[in-house]
């Protein structure tokens, strides 16, 4: 039986999943999993991009040793980050990590020259300090020598595809996240690029999800001793792939892609570029089949992940199940944070920042690990309600519940608290949403599925969905009001 291969690269780990269809049922098998650890070098934070390439090759070797015949492969990853290719065809430097501080203050400074209404009206993208436009503007400000040598711009999946195939393309879903793509023109915004002093010639053809993107290079095949494999451009922003895997039955649905980041929104036929969308700081990112994802970024489980790492550095090792158990036992509704406060973006010790936030907002700061974790998870669940209500207001739709996909749904407590916070059912699954959406678009490209809705139907029949019903409604309703007051979201 032939298989297809999905590389799904997250901000903390990567995985390679094999996908097979057996009587219209999707079967997946994890072939390879590996860490994705950023590297600090002289005060700068970078991705170890060549290590990722090495691990991707290991997955191909594992497929070879197992006798697997690959019909195609595709890559999805996080957004906004990129590599620059020189005139010789070589990568110029290690890509910056979006949490690096070189963009500090750039968004605010650039808004004097390029006002938020001007940028949003041309791109429809949420204002975040690490967006690609601000990364490039920061490099221009610093007179980076890389800019003088650059010839092409490739986002992370584009770059890894280039290493494997030798072909340079930009893919639609990831291109839209740069805040440099104009959905009204259907192409890169040359006026914005000129305004920040970046040549439009660096930016190549934009492929839609499902388009062919080359084949493995003879040099790669020779190195690994494998036959060539077609490479397909899927929704290469991992959230785009995750949304493709949402097993929705209604054309109007709300989703939450839950992991290191939480991304909540709905799927639309066209970008929403209204003044209200800009005021609410929503984003319009490309999806599958020409759709857009009207959504908002929420800081997500990053805060919990960093807190766990902080405790481990201090000698306290607690597993996630242990931390969740402690959170369940801690007193309810005593303190909250706004997960999207800027202080929680950078790596490092989180508990002092959480305590400072609580004290500054007149709340009792959590002390014990269980209290800290409860504060984080309750805050996320309540922020989900806040953003879901904004999504309903902006889209004009009242959603009957929330689809949660991604690795974060393994946190059952967060799923239950999310249902209770929004006062509606949460449908959780599949956990490997990005990888499954990646596979689905490959099958669409092969003509196995007619469109994304047929793919979603098969996904729904192939993977279990756990339903969480809201409970303790009065307590959560009261907590929501107090959360909005404490965090300033009631203003």
Q: Tell whether 311 and 233 lie within a shared domain.
A: no
- Classify residue 373 as left (phi > 0), alpha (psi -120 to 50) or beta: alpha
| 268 and 181 inside one domain | no
423 burial (CB, 10 Å; 0-12 / 13-18 / 19+) is: middle
Q: How far apart are CA 49 and CA 64, in angstroms?
A: 23
This prediction's pTM: 0.96
> What pLDDT is attached to residue 491?
66
* Exposed / middle / buried, residue 225 (Cβ in 10 Å: 0-12, 13-18, 19+): exposed
Closest by Cα among 389, 402, 403, 373 to 301: 373
274 DSSP assignment: -
pLDDT value, residue 1: 60
53 within domain boundaries: yes
136 and 157 belong to one structural domain: yes
Residue burial 389-420, b: 16+ Cβ < 10 Å; e: rest = ebbeebbebebebbbbbbbbbebebbbbbbbb
**Alpha-carbon span 77 to 87, nearest angstrom:** 25
The CATH number of residue 460's host domain is: 3.30.420.40
Residue 113 lies in a domain: yes
Asked if the structure places residue 439 within a domain, the reply is no
The pLDDT of residue 23: 87
Looking at the DSSP bridge assignments, the partners of residue 427 are: 403, 467
Instruction: Say if residue 161 is in the same domain as residue 88.
Output: yes
Residue 249, φ and ψ in degrees, nearest 5: -105, -30
Q: Is 204 in the same domain as 276?
A: no
Tokens of residue 82, six digits: 């990129």
Q: Which three-class secondary structure state does DSSP give residue 40?
A: strand
Burial class (CB in 10 A: 0-12, 13-18, 19+), 51: middle
Least Cα distance to 482 among 423, 421, 402 occurs for 421
* CA dihedral sign, ordered 243, 249, 252, 258: negative
Q: Same domain for 276 and 371? A: yes
Catalytic residue among 238, 269, 340, 349: 238
pLDDT by residue, tens only, the chain of 491 residues: 689 999 999 999 999 999 999 988 999 999 999 999 999 999 999 999 999 999 999 999 999 999 999 999 999 999 999 999 999 999 999 999 999 999 999 999 999 999 999 999 999 999 999 999 999 999 999 999 999 999 999 999 999 999 999 999 999 999 999 999 999 999 999 999 999 999 999 999 999 999 999 999 999 999 999 999 999 999 999 999 999 999 999 999 999 999 999 999 999 999 999 999 999 999 999 999 999 999 999 999 999 999 999 999 999 999 999 999 999 999 999 999 999 999 999 999 999 999 999 999 999 999 999 999 999 999 999 999 999 999 999 999 999 999 999 999 999 999 999 999 999 999 999 999 999 999 999 999 999 999 999 999 999 999 999 999 999 999 999 999 999 999 999 86
The reply to whether 322 and 407 lie within a common domain is yes
**435 belongs to a structural domain:** no
Is residue 54 packed enough to be buried (19+ CB in 10 Å), middle (13-18) or exposed (0-12)?
A: exposed
- Same domain? For 204 and 337 the reply is no
3-state secondary structure (DSSP) of residue 443: helix
- Residue 47: its H or E element: none
Instruction: Domain count for the chain, please give it.
Output: 2
Q: Whats the size of the chain, residue-wise?
A: 491
238 labelled catalytic: yes
Cβ–Cβ under 8 Å, residues 79 and 237: yes
Domain containing residue 278:
246-429+449-491
Q: Are 277 and 293 in contact (CB under 8 A)?
A: no
Longest dimension (CA), the chain: 64
């Amino acid at each position: 039986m032939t298989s297809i291969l999905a590389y799904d690269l997250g901000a903390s780990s990567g995985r390679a999943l094999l996908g097979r269809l057996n009587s219209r049922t999707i079967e997946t098998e994890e072939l390879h999993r590996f860490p994705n650890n950023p590297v600090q070098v002289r005060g700068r934070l970078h991705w170890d991009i060549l290590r990722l390439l090495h691990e991707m090759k290991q997955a191909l070797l594992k497929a070879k040793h197992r006798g697997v015949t690959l019909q195609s492969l595709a890559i999805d990853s996080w957004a906004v980050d990129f590599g620059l290719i020189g005139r010789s065809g070589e990568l110029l430097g290690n890509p910056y990590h979006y949490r690096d501080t070189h963009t500090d203050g750039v968004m605010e400074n650039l808004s004097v020259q390029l006002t938020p209404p001007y940028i949003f009206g041309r791109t429809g993208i949420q204002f975040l300090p690490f967006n690609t436009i601000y990364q490039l503007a920061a490099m221009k400000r610093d007179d980076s020598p890389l800019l003088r040598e650059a010839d092409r711009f490739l986002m992370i999946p584009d770059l890894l595809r280039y290493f494997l195939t030798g072909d340079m393309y930009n893919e639609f879903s990831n291109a839209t996240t740069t805040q440099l793509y104009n959905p009204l023109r259907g192409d890169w915004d040359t006026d914005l690029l000129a305004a920040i002093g970046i040549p439009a010639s660096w930016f190549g053809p934009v492929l839609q999800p499902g388009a062919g993107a080359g084949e493995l290079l003879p040099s790669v095949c020779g190195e690994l001793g494998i036959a060539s494999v077609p490479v397909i451009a899927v929704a290469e922003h991992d959230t785009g792939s995750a949304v493709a895997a949402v097993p929705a039955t209604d054309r109007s649905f709300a989703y939450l892609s839950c992991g290191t980041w939480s991304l909540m929104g709905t799927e639309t036929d066209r970008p929403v570029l209204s003044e209200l969308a800009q005021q609410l700081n929503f984003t319009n990112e490309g999806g599958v089949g020409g759709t857009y994802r009207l959504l908002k970024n929420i800081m997500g489980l990053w805060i919990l992940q960093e807190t766990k790492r902080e405790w481990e550095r201090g000698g306290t090792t607690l597993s996630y199940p242990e931390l969740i158990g402690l959170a369940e036992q801690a007193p309810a509704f005593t303190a909250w944070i706004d997960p999207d406060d800027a202080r929680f973006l950078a790596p490092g010790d989180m508990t002092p920042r959480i305590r400072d936030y609580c004290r500054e907002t007149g709340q009792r700061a959590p002390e014990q690990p269980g209290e800290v974790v409860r504060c984080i998870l309750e805050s996320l669940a309540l922020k989900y309600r806040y953003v879901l209500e904004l999504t309903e207001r902006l889209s004009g739709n009242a959603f009957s519940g929330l689809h949660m996909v991604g690795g974060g749904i393994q946190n059952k407590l967060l799923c239950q608290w999310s249902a209770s916070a929004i006062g509606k059912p949460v449908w959780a699954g599949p956990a490997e949403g990005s990888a499954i959406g990646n596979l689905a678009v490959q099958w669409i490209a092969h003509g196995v599925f007619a469109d994304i809705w047929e793919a979603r139907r098969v996904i729904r029949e192939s993977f279990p969905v756990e339903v969480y019903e809201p409970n303790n409604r009065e307590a959560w309703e009261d907590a929501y009001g107090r959360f909005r007051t404490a965090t300033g979201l009631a203003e």
